[in-house]
Chains A and B, each alone.
Chain A
């Protein structure tokens, strides 16, 4: 019986069979929630057929200035140097500036692009070329005005660490298609992520749903390469010996968890082959590398975007790429220019590449920060800051593409100061609900019972952004 089960599992599921998986064959009453490792990663059907199978989240942490990239407000130029009326501010707390800080006009030229006429800043020339493939949301708002809580909020729907991240929820709901790679991958261009591992934590979901960090230096996955001197043959012999002794132990003590352990080692073996294959960008043709602006050996945002496409091709479900450094408390002009230089080409290339490979329809790309930046200027002689913008939670812009999102539209409008939404306001919980919707989930139904109640990504909020759906 044990053997049959195990064989079935290795063949069909690629992951470990656990107590409950076995028990459920033996006893129809077994409870999945109890099983430590019950087949937690087996592919599962969502609530309904979703358009997207995978998500690539380009998380522009630090918060890009929507007023200098997406939301053109000529009125600000007229008001430059004057304070905003208090009735606009409405008691909003700020991180660094005072509410009466003066207005700062747009820092760049804007123009309309594509058939859709999306209005974009001159520092986004590549995005301009795919304007008809993306849906720009210009009136997103959030509850948080500090980085760590706002990033954790965007990822988990709650501002304090401890809840599951979007990627974890999705793998919990959909399982994992790849047998060689982690289902939920996190990359970073290296600047440091506020809030840290809480951003890709599985929270109170089983820890197997935690995001796996792909690193820029050393092993892409910690310990994925064997130590020096442990060659392939030794590794194979070792895995065989482990499997052999584990099998003997299983016979002696009967705990099916032992079979799960052996299966995990087999997966580890596959990962050791799959990870180098995945990260070897030399296999990509020159044209593709040029499209992204990626150098196979240089860890940066472009390389991460290309890696993300390769991951999704191989069945990875959720990829987050953190590009840090948008926190323009000073010199928002230089900051925006530099960060766009680092991200614009590759972000657009990713959409273009997915499209030409026929993957865009099933891959949802989300680009944006944790909040926006103020129409008011930040100047602080003590901190040596000038011509910056502070954190602004009331309204900011993100874009989405693919995965059943309507291409070539701009939704939402802010007032002429870019301060408050006046039309099509969407909350971060709505964005989360929409992402889940595209994957086939009713965000109100994707729940997990913890500490006496059912929790979900969108807390008790969130509405799918219907106008954004294709």
Chain B
């Protein structure tokens, strides 16, 4: 840093060398390829359009919202902060930026950031004109713009906005695309697959004025519409079928994917779509579907690597949720404020964590999703089970049966021990766990399980002479896999490990003479919970959803009324007990744990069986008798067989807000690091988005539901704009704001600001209806234009920012495969359900990223489902999709890359799936009536929709004839290419021909 000879006030202006890493882009505006409306020299520069981009790119890093990085107490992002350097005459800002003196010039040479002559001119002109600041355009609520008046007023206001802009450049819209191009385009855009020749003909032959509108309505009503747009949403939701990271195991969250498809097909208003996904669980009387919707933010990754700190990765998941919420709804890069106050946008470090807090108060359980079909199948089997169980009752009808039960009871009574359940009078679950007592004396643990959890329970009013303590591990549907433990990653779900059992009196451990457990599980014995080694211990039955218990015999009967019980749970994964009960006995002699359920033992241990049993007790005994007595083995086996047939219910991942008495606190984390929590922060949204607020303005959202509602409220200026912009991008390949995920100071300004605001307001006024928005756009002349481009127009507007032509866009990965399957007649229309495993090259599956991939290729129609249903493995995405820029599901993808590579060519040429498609097309083509040219024309229509031109027919026919001749000479080769069946030579030649057509640029492009 240069030594300064200037006054201290000046020295403070120097930027740090780290700022604005090098190769900084020019301000976006200046770099745009299209001419901006000529700025008259006399005109003052527009702050938002001309000035802020320069300040943001060149100055904000040191003179912006981040107090920590701010130099010279100067902030140029607000008029107040900059006033003293902006004086009209002798403005210090102008002096400094025009200086050539290394110690004076701004930005300082050390930053390697420089201003161009034009930028200096703009800033000087702005200062000279009074240095007016305007609020950033996207932080001001959209205002309904006037629809431009044109000589020939178009029916669709979109066209009025676009045409008015084009007219400024003496340009106009291109003519409408031909009907073949148009029908293929609108099919691909709205439902994701191209039309069949029959569907094409139906449209082309319909000469009615409303033919196109009718087609659009039909497509919007098609169930495939939901599949197409769900895939786009799932990119944002970073949906995948595995957990990510090292182990990358399977997860079941496809019911969420199906929810998205259904919601889009039902045209669920986008505000409701938003609220249900962010906070469906918090809606009054939330339906199962509304809970399933909260899978949106459960799509974060889960690290199951041995030995991780689970809370660290939970923290990473919440930072991801915060950033993704910012991207998807606010179009703001809020993630930039995780480590420090945002360098460019007005979001402070604390505000970031307030936003984080809004999303940080949920538990993350699995939800069983009822399915009428599965329930019906289950009910049928369960009815049979009930019938078999009734046999017990039948046995008790006769004397023999009653005697048999009585004999069994007599035997069991000898073994039974009388236990007294204890309600701890004080409980401590450590820093992240809350222990709560329930009426039956069981203790339930909630909150966040850690790798090491210590439960400390105060036991008071102990009966005199306690000789043994029993710890019952109990099940509960709220626990992972039903419990009894809280393990939810790495180890089996619902697992636990009691590492150390310690009963203390006055802080001193009470000697334990022996210990036993009800279920053997290798070396995970109750005794191991006494050895002082934290990695050994008692692990219950080892089966999820199955209760167990361990008994600890004290060396000497207790003489005090009070004791403290310490239960330590420690493993290389979080494995504390989720539900348990503590009992004591004063029975003499060594007591052994056994598998008899506590409620049965309680009855059996009565000093005397009552003459008239208490209600329910006979059933308790009889049920257990049936469950254990040898005479029922045959029935039990039969029941077990039936139980094995019960279809598993589908599960999905959901959010569940924590109870009011146990909220999860949120802290500001220094440098955004998990290990550096500082002061606690309360939830709210950034101030910049809620200003100006009158006294009667609603209070800032303070929980997830309020936040979701705020996002889609009129108070938030961003959501509607960000949403319509994303849809515009989907249909035009470019957003009206090019930076889909950045509407902040660093983002690009809208190319058509009035159109953007008009669309945003229309969208909201039309009930947040995405289908209406789509219809509005695709029926515009702007959308329907031909995508043909002349060299002149390409030179004028290479990016097609002005929309003087339709866009020509490469299809998305799934669309390419779906289109090929549909052309071949192979595409399965089956919707919904667990993800499927279509074939992919052997190298992918034999050399998975973590050992061999579990990729059992699906059979039947599941081989040919739409790409949306392909199993999405994060560390090894489906090879073809990865090659064509499909996302991995590891991060939110607002915009897919569009690449054009040799590896894509290899996939299209050589992948087995494509060969299968070519063979199926060959079959269809060979079966088509007509001469070679007719068949080529047919093949063309199957693949490309349009009619082939004469010269194309000639080229392709010539190719076909040549290949046919060659195959005829080598039937063996023909059989390989054609696949099984008759007429291999002809089919092989057609397969080769179809393969070539599938590889045309046009096939993978929507024109």
Chain A residues engaging chain B, CB cutoff 8 angstroms: 1-2, 16, 18-20, 22-23, 26-27, 29-31, 33-34, 36-37, 93-96, 98, 145-149, 160-162, 182, 188, 190-198, 201, 206-208, 210, 212-213, 215-219, 221-231, 233-235, 237-238, 241-242, 244-246, 248-249, 252-258, 260-262, 264-265, 267-268, 271-272, 380-383, 390-391, 442, 444-447, 449, 451-454, 456, 460
B905–A96 contact, CB under 8 A?
A: no
Assess whether B966 is interfacial by the CB under 8 Å rule: yes
Q: Can you list 29 A-B contacts (CB < 8 A)? A: A34-B738, A95-B572, A146-B307, A161-B874, A193-B875, A197-B888, A210-B882, A217-B847, A218-B841, A218-B842, A218-B843, A218-B846, A222-B906, A223-B906, A226-B910, A229-B988, A242-B996, A242-B999, A254-B790, A254-B791, A254-B794, A257-B1001, A257-B1005, A264-B901, A264-B902, A268-B909, A445-B112, A449-B25, A452-B332
CA distance A380 to B307 in the complex (A): 13
Across-interface contacts of A225 in B (CB, < 8 A): 910
A162–B899 contact, CB under 8 A?
A: no
Across-interface contacts of B791 in A (CB, < 8 A): 1-2, 26, 254
B795–A194 contact, CB under 8 A?
A: no
A34–B799 contact, CB under 8 A?
A: yes
Across-interface contacts of B844 in A (CB, < 8 A): 222
From 312 to 350 in chain B, residues with beta carbon under 8 angstroms from any chain A beta carbon are 316, 320, 327, 332-333, 335-336, 343-345
The interface stretch among B228-236, B240-248, B822-830 is: B240-248
Contact partner of A442 (CB less than 8 A), chosen from B22, B336, B1001, is: B22
Across-interface contacts of A193 in B (CB, < 8 A): 849-850, 875
Across-interface contacts of A253 in B (CB, < 8 A): 787-789, 808, 1007
CA distance A241 to B905 in the complex (A): 14
Q: How far is the CB of B809 from chain A (nearest CB, A)?
A: 9
A207–B746 contact, CB under 8 A?
A: no
Assess whether B458 is interfacial by the CB under 8 Å rule: no
Contact partner of B795 (CB less than 8 A), chosen from A26, A94, A147, is: A26
From 368 to 420 in chain B, residues with beta carbon under 8 angstroms from any chain A beta carbon are none
Name the residue among B23, B791, B907 with the largest chain A CB count within 10 angstroms.
B23
B22–A197 contact, CB under 8 A?
A: no
A452–B902 contact, CB under 8 A?
A: no
CA distance A96 to B534 in the complex (A): 11
B849–A196 contact, CB under 8 A?
A: yes
CA distance A241 to B995 in the complex (A): 11
Across-interface contacts of B912 in A (CB, < 8 A): 227
B1001–A453 contact, CB under 8 A?
A: no
A452–B305 contact, CB under 8 A?
A: no
Across-interface contacts of A449 in B (CB, < 8 A): 25
B344–A258 contact, CB under 8 A?
A: no
Assess whether B456 is interfacial by the CB under 8 Å rule: no
CA distance A444 to B21 in the complex (A): 6
The interface stretch among B582-590, B855-863, B955-963 is: B955-963
CA distance A245 to B949 in the complex (A): 11
B959–A241 contact, CB under 8 A?
A: yes
A192–B996 contact, CB under 8 A?
A: no
Given A253-B789, A444-B22, A452-B333, are A222 and B841 neighbors across the interface (CB < 8 Å)?
yes
3 shortest interchain CB distances as A-B pairs: A196-B875, A95-B307, A229-B976
Assess whether B24 is interfacial by the CB under 8 Å rule: yes
CA distance A224 to B976 in the complex (A): 18
Q: Looking across the interface, which residue of chain A has its beta carbon closest to that of B56?
A: A452
CA distance A303 to B810 in the complex (A): 38
Extra contacts, 10 of them, besides A161-B891, A215-B843 (Cβ < 8 A), are A31-B33, A95-B308, A146-B308, A188-B847, A208-B899, A217-B843, A219-B841, A227-B977, A261-B1004, A265-B905
Given A148-B303, A454-B20, are A27 and B952 neighbors across the interface (CB < 8 Å)?
no
B897–A207 contact, CB under 8 A?
A: yes
Q: Looking across the interface, which residue of chain A has its beta carbon closest to that of B345?
A: A452
Across-interface contacts of A453 in B (CB, < 8 A): 333, 336, 343-344, 746
Name the residue among B18, B24, B996 with the largest chain A CB count within 10 angstroms.
B996
CA distance A241 to B909 in the complex (A): 13
A194–B33 contact, CB under 8 A?
A: no
Q: Looking across the interface, which residue of chain B has its beta carbon closest to that of A199?
A: B849
A255–B742 contact, CB under 8 A?
A: no
B842–A238 contact, CB under 8 A?
A: no
Assess whether B148 is interfacial by the CB under 8 Å rule: no
Chain B interface mostly: loop
B33–A34 contact, CB under 8 A?
A: yes
B33–A30 contact, CB under 8 A?
A: yes
Across-interface contacts of B915 in A (CB, < 8 A): 227
Across-interface contacts of B849 in A (CB, < 8 A): 192-197
Q: Looking across the interface, which residue of chain B has its beta carbon closest to that of A246?
A: B1001
Q: Looking across the interface, which residue of chain A has its beta carbon closest to that of B948?
A: A245
Across-interface contacts of B33 in A (CB, < 8 A): 23, 27, 29-31, 34
Q: How far is the CB of B287 from chain A (nearest CB, A)?
A: 34
Assess whether B201 is interfacial by the CB under 8 Å rule: no
Assess whether B890 is interfacial by the CB under 8 Å rule: yes
B900–A445 contact, CB under 8 A?
A: no
CA distance A160 to B245 in the complex (A): 9
Given A193-B849, A207-B899, are A382 and B535 neighbors across the interface (CB < 8 Å)?
yes
Across-interface contacts of B591 in A (CB, < 8 A): none
CA distance A265 to B998 in the complex (A): 13
Q: Looking across the interface, which residue of chain A has its beta carbon closest to that of B248?
A: A196
Across-interface contacts of A16 in B (CB, < 8 A): 900
Name the residue among B333, B789, B790, B897 with the largest chain A CB count within 10 angstroms.
B897
Across-interface contacts of A255 in B (CB, < 8 A): 787, 789, 808
Across-interface contacts of B327 in A (CB, < 8 A): 451
Q: How far is the CB of B438 from chain A (nearest CB, A)?
A: 31
Assess whether B741 is interfacial by the CB under 8 Å rule: yes
A241–B956 contact, CB under 8 A?
A: yes
> What are the interface flags for B878-892 relative to A under an 8 Å C-beta threshold, 1 for contact and 0 otherwise?
010011010010110
> What are the interface flags for B286-302 relative to A under an 8 Å C-beta threshold, 1 for contact and 0 otherwise?
00000000000000010
CA distance A444 to B23 in the complex (A): 9
From 896 to 935 in chain B, residues with beta carbon under 8 angstroms from any chain A beta carbon are 897-907, 909-912, 915
Assess whether B851 is interfacial by the CB under 8 Å rule: yes
Given A197-B876, A222-B879, are A381 and B533 neighbors across the interface (CB < 8 Å)?
yes
Given A215-B843, A451-B333, A453-B344, are A271 and B746 neighbors across the interface (CB < 8 Å)?
no
Name the residue among B244, B907, B949, B999 with the largest chain A CB count within 10 angstroms.
B999
Q: How far is the CB of A3 from chain B (nearest CB, A)?
A: 12
CA distance A447 to B572 in the complex (A): 38
CA distance A20 to B901 in the complex (A): 16
Given A218-B841, A222-B879, are A233 and B966 neighbors across the interface (CB < 8 Å)?
yes
Q: How far is the CB of B900 from chain A (nearest CB, A)?
A: 4
Assess whether B992 is interfacial by the CB under 8 Å rule: yes
Across-interface contacts of A201 in B (CB, < 8 A): 888
CA distance A194 to B497 in the complex (A): 26
A215–B910 contact, CB under 8 A?
A: no
